[in-house]
Amino acid sequence: MSSYLVIGKNKKVETEIKEVPLSKLKFYQENPRLISILEREKGALTEKKIEELFWEKHSEPTRKLKEVIETDGAINEPLIVYKNKVLEGNTRLCILKELDRKAKTSSEKTKWSNVPCQVIKEKISQPDIDYLLGRVHIIQKKDWEPYELAVWFKRRKREGASFKELVEVSRYPEKQIQDYIKTFDFMVKNKISNPKEFTKYYEINKSTDYLKAKKKDKKLDKKLIKKITEDNLETRDVRDLTRVVLKDKKAQKKYFEGKWTLGKAKEVVFNNKPEMSDVFIREAQNFLDKIEAISRQRIDEIKNNKRKKKIITKLMKEMKTLAKKLSIKF
C-alpha cells in the first residue's frame, strides 16, 4: 500500500506500507534518542550492543512498551524505514528483537519475525530525515526528552536551518531553542555526558543572572559544576542557585567556599533583599521605582484629573495608616 511522509515545508516523499523481515532491520544510530543512549560509547557498535544499551539506559520506557506490545501481540504503528535503517521506532525494534529471540513456538517466531514498516522509496537527505524525526517526535508524539530535543535543534542549526524554521516546526519559542542549544554546547564543552543532567544545566544557561555573574568570575562554570556534582543538587536547587544566590556577592562566595549551605545562602539573600521572596514588598518596590521615575508631564496629567487625584489621595491616607501600624514616622 502506497502512502507518503512530510519531510519538509511543502515537501513529501513516497512510501510503502509493507512487512519487512526483522533480520534486515538496523538501528539508526543518528536518532537523537540513540545519540543520548550511546553518548559515552566509543568505536563501532554492534546491533547486539545497542540493544543491550537500550535495556540498560532506557529501561523503564522500554519495559513498559514491551508489556503493551506483548499484550496486543503487535506493534501499535509501523516503523519508519529508509535503506533498512529504522529512522523512527528504534525502541520498538529493540523490543521486537528480544521477543523474537525469546520466542518458544513457531507461531510466536512467525509473529515477531516480520515487522510492519512504512518504507521510504525515494532518496532523501540528512536534513530531510531530521525534519521528519522532529515532526514525529515534537509535534505528533511529544515524547523526546529535553536532551534529545537539544540534539535535534543543534543538528538542524548545523544543517543551516534558521531559528524561524525551527520555531515553525517545533512550535517552541526562539529563546528556548537558543537556550537548549547553549545548554547542549555547555555540556559538550564541559564533558557532561549524562542526558538526565540536562535540565540542571538548562537552568544555568537560561539565567541572565548567570551571564552577569560569569562576566565577573571566569571560573564560575567550574564552581557550578562542582557544586551540582558534590552537593547532588536537584533541578529546583540549581534554579534557586542561579535565581537567588548568584544575585548576592557575599552569599555566592560563602556558598562556593563551602562555608554556607544552599539553604543558608538563600536565607541571607532573602533577608538582605526581601523583595525577592515577598510579593507585597516586591510590588511596593516596583511602585516606588515608578514614583521616583515619574515625569513632569505625568504629574500634570494626574493633577488635572479628579478621579486620578482621588485615588492618589486615598493611597496617601492608607500609607499613613500603614506607617503608623509599622511604627514608621510619616
Q: Do both 274 and 309 map to the same domain? A: no
Q: Do both 123 and 235 map to the same domain? A: no
Q: Do both 27 and 129 map to the same domain? A: yes
Q: What is the tally of helices (H) and strands (E) in the chain?
A: 18, 6
Q: Do both 164 and 263 map to the same domain? A: no
Using alpha carbons only, give the angle 80, 84, 87 rounded to the nearest 5 degrees.
35
Q: Do both 272 and 310 map to the same domain? A: no
Q: Do both 171 and 249 map to the same domain? A: no
Q: Do both 42 and 61 map to the same domain? A: yes
Task: Show which of 83, 111, 138 is a domain's final residue.
Answer: 138
Cα–Cα dist 76/26, whole Å = 19
Domain count across the chain: 4
Q: Do both 191 and 235 map to the same domain? A: no
Q: Do both 221 and 118 map to the same domain? A: no
**Considering only CA atoms, which of 255, 280, 279 is closest in space to residue 267?**
255
Q: What is the pLDDT along the chain (330 residues), one digit of tens a residue?
A: 778 898 887 889 999 999 999 999 999 998 888 888 876 677 778 999 999 998 998 889 899 999 999 999 999 899 999 999 999 999 999 999 999 999 988 888 889 999 999 999 999 998 899 889 888 888 777 778 899 899 899 988 988 889 998 998 888 999 999 999 999 999 999 999 888 899 999 999 999 999 999 999 999 999 999 999 999 999 999 999 999 999 999 999 999 999 999 999 999 999 999 988 889 998 999 999 999 999 999 999 999 999 999 999 999 999 999 999 999 987
pTM of the predicted model as reported, rounded to 2 decimal places: 0.73
Cα–Cα dist 112/69, whole Å = 10
Task: Show which of 202, 220, 248 is a domain's final residue.
Answer: 202
| Residue numbers of the domain that contains 126 | 2-138
Cα–Cα dist 218/143, whole Å = 37
